[in-house]
A and B are shown apart, each in its own frame.
Chain A
Amino acid sequence: DSGVTQTPKHLITATGQRVTLRCSPRSGDLSVYWYQQSLDQGLQFLIQYYNGEERAKGNILERFSAQQFPDLHSELNLSSLELGDSALYFCASSPGTGAQPQHFGDGTRLSIL
Chain B
Amino acid sequence: GENVEQHPSTLSVQEGDSAVIKCTYSDSASNYFPWYKQELGKRPQLIIDIRSNVGEKKDQRIAVTLNKTAKHFSLHITETQPEDSAVYFCAARATSGTYKYIFGTGTRLKVLA
User: Closest chain A residue to B35 by CB distance?
Assistant: A100
Cross-chain contact of A42 among B49, B98, B103 (Cβ < 8 A)? B103
Q: Within 8 Å of chain A (Cβ to Cβ): is B29?
A: no
B residues near A41, Cβ cutoff 8 Å = 105-106
Question: Which A residues are closer than 8 A to B by beta carbons?
Answer: 2, 33, 35, 41-45, 48, 55-58, 90, 92, 97-98, 100-102, 104-107
Assuming the contacts A43-B89, A98-B93, asked whether A104 and B101 have C-beta atoms less than 8 A apart, the reply is: no
6 nearest A-B residue pairs (beta carbon): A104-B43, A56-B98, A42-B105, A43-B103, A100-B34, A56-B100
11 contacts between A and B (CB under 8 A): A35-B103, A42-B104, A56-B100, A57-B98, A58-B100, A90-B44, A92-B44, A98-B32, A98-B93, A101-B46, A101-B101
Question: Which B residues are closer than 8 A to A by beta carbons?
Answer: 6, 32, 34, 42-46, 49, 89, 91, 93, 98-106
Binding site of A, secondary structure by majority: helix, strand, loop or mixed? loop
